[in-house]
Chains A and B, each alone.
Chain A
Amino acid sequence: MINFSYLVFIIKSAFFDFSRNKVRTILTSLGILIGVFSVVLLMALGLGLKKYIEQQFQSLGQNLLMVLPGQGFSQNGGQGLIGGIQFDEKDVLKIKRLKNVQAIAPFFTKTLKIEYKNKSQITTLLATTGDAFKVIKVEAARGSLFTNADNEKSAKAVILGAEIANKLFGSGEKAVGEAVRIQKERFIVKGVLKKTGGGALGSETDMRAIIPFRSSYFLNPDKKFFAIYTEAKDAKSVLTLKDDIKKTLLKRYNEDDFTVSESSELLNTINSIFSVLNLVLVAIAAISLVVGGIGIMNIMYVSVTERIKEIGIRRAIGARKFDILYQFLSESVILSLFGGFLGLFFAGLIVLAVQRLFPAYLDFGSVFLALGVSSAIGIVFGVFPAKKAADLSPIDAIRYE
């Protein structure tokens, strides 16, 4: 029977062997260490990526519908946002008249230089309506945001992201009320956004400049939009509104020319892409675990050969085959778990280190998997050497020199 003192004895004797062969033990565990380290780290980064994307989407309204050209982000599409049609004011007006529309924000973007005195910054300018701030959930830190009325008046107002305001003016406070030049046109800084570090407009939110759509015609003579974001009145009306928008647009465009997506749909698509990508990476990293396991198997065979005499002595004084099997199997499992723990530990350190930049984290599942997989490797790759040891004939083993 396996009692406590037996277990202590087995573990103690395993550790004795490890301490006698320190270098060998460390090198053997290193294979498992690297395998567990890379698998756990990739899992943690994958989880972090998922969380990061979700955080980004949280800043988008729950009832948001995105009208995008081409196949957009739809599940089966892959054409992306480039190419396809562009929308115009007629489309915006038609959608605006539909039932259940809470807010509507058409978007035009252009990458250009924005100048203040002798300083200049490259920015991806965004031209939209006052509703946009509601839809994409951004707030002013300084000054105020422009409204739909400002848009109607073609006000020469600009809202700056926190970082670009800092770069041009030194601080957001100094920016409000000042005039900047956008391709020779003068715009007055009406407000500066709160620092977001990301958000609905992507990681560049802090470097954005946003102007009323009607003031952007000098950049956009065709008066076209690349996207129209619409917020439905409530969660129930999202799907109705989605259908209505589709019907409206189908009168002018072909089915393939545009896509209407819900924000949750987009999130699911992006998440599923990253999940598959992460799974592939984890699978590749898992190959190193197999290599590590083979290393353990190799060393266990050496260990059995070195200790044939000892096995013979143990058998002579009454150890059964099972006892010998158990002894060697415990050693390979301890060896593998040792590597697993260290791999987990180092992966944990890296995760802690990157957490300030990126929400990577270890969940219970990856810890359990790391330790479970390393024990399993110890058993699978240890069982053949252990069986070899157990099957030695006691008389041949004790005579072995």
Chain B
Amino acid sequence: MLILENVWKEYVLDQETKFAALKNIDLTIKDGEFSSIIGPSGSGKSTLMHIIGLLDKPTKGKISFSGKDISRLDDNQTSTLRNEFVGFVFQQFNLINKLSILENIVLPAIYARKQLNFDPRQKAIRLMQQFGIAGKENSYPNKISGGQQQRVAIARALIMEPQLILADEPTGNLDTKSGEGIINLLSELNSKEKITVVVVTHDRHIAAKTKRVIKIIDGEIHK
């Protein structure tokens, strides 16, 4: 589904020094995989996730998504791909506090450019039931627990029926029990609904629950 070839990400620090966050990454993520990207902080794993998730562009290299080269798309096209094919789950949950839980979940549908073949609100309510947060529709993100917020974030990531879920330290702000619940949920989505899931983490126990572990150190993948 997703192929990275010779991907580099460099930051210019000043006129003489460049810092390479990612060096010559070759990576293939297959349809239906449940994998984790693991590495210490500063290893470049978040940068890699941002590039996979089309939030950031590589300095060099090629990325193909379902056989299409997507490394040279313009902003509108990458926005559309993010909207339709990728769902993000962040460490900080990143819900919009002034919107209700239900509004947060349907937000990606507001920005949809294609005709949806489902009703976003009904689907949101179904997802909330599935994730055990039913009844919180009109509540606000800062009124519910961290574990619940992360479930809302996953529901939001799923509303557009994406092919890929990218989770950046999804358990980082949660206690062990809630964190485990979130990982189990992601695992379930992968096994039951065949959604490709990539989890970025520094935690070996989390990584151990995934089917494939990609190690990254100093911007390079260790096989």
Query: Which residues of A are in contact with B by a Cβ distance under 8 Å?
Result: 1, 5-6, 9, 13, 16-17, 20, 309-310, 312-323, 394-395, 398
**In the assembled complex, B82 has its CB within 8 A of some CB on chain A:** yes
Whether B110 lies near A6 (C-beta < 8 A) is yes
User: How many B residues are at the interface, by size bracket?
Assistant: 20 to 34
Within 8 Å by CB of A394, from B55, B76, B84, B108, lies B55
Whether A317 lies near B55 (C-beta < 8 A) is no
**In the assembled complex, B98 has its CB within 8 A of some CB on chain A:** yes
Whether A323 lies near B111 (C-beta < 8 A) is yes
| Extra A-B contacts (12), CB below 8 Å, given A312-B94, A316-B82, A317-B82 | A313-B94, A315-B55, A315-B82, A317-B83, A317-B111, A318-B79, A318-B80, A318-B111, A318-B112, A395-B55, A395-B56, A398-B90
Whether A318 lies near B160 (C-beta < 8 A) is yes
Provide the residues of chain B in CB contact with A1, threshold 8 Å. Answer: 113
Provide the residues of chain A in CB contact with B50, threshold 8 Å. Answer: 395
Whether A319 lies near B111 (C-beta < 8 A) is yes
Whether A310 lies near B96 (C-beta < 8 A) is yes
**In the assembled complex, B75 has its CB within 8 A of some CB on chain A:** yes
Known: A1-B113, A318-B83, A398-B55. A20 touches B98 (CB 8 A): yes
Closest to B115 in A: A1
Whether A317 lies near B108 (C-beta < 8 A) is yes
Whether A315 lies near B79 (C-beta < 8 A) is yes
Known: A313-B94, A394-B55, A395-B56. A321 touches B75 (CB 8 A): yes
Complex Cα distance, B42 from A153, in Å, reads 116
Whether B108 lies near A13 (C-beta < 8 A) is no
Complex Cα distance, B75 from A5, in Å, reads 24
Within 8 Å by CB of B88, from A9, A309, A316, A321, lies A316
**In the assembled complex, B27 has its CB within 8 A of some CB on chain A:** no
Whether A398 lies near B94 (C-beta < 8 A) is yes
Closest 4 CB pairs of A and B: A318-B83, A320-B79, A317-B108, A318-B111
Complex Cα distance, B108 from A319, in Å, reads 8
**In the assembled complex, B1 has its CB within 8 A of some CB on chain A:** no
Whether B107 lies near A317 (C-beta < 8 A) is yes
A256 CB to nearest B CB, Å: 74
Whether A316 lies near B55 (C-beta < 8 A) is yes
Complex Cα distance, B74 from A322, in Å, reads 13
B23 CB to nearest A CB, Å: 19
**In the assembled complex, B156 has its CB within 8 A of some CB on chain A:** yes
Whether B88 lies near A17 (C-beta < 8 A) is no
Complex Cα distance, B107 from A6, in Å, reads 10
Provide the residues of chain A in CB contact with B56, threshold 8 Å. Answer: 394-395
Complex Cα distance, B93 from A310, in Å, reads 12
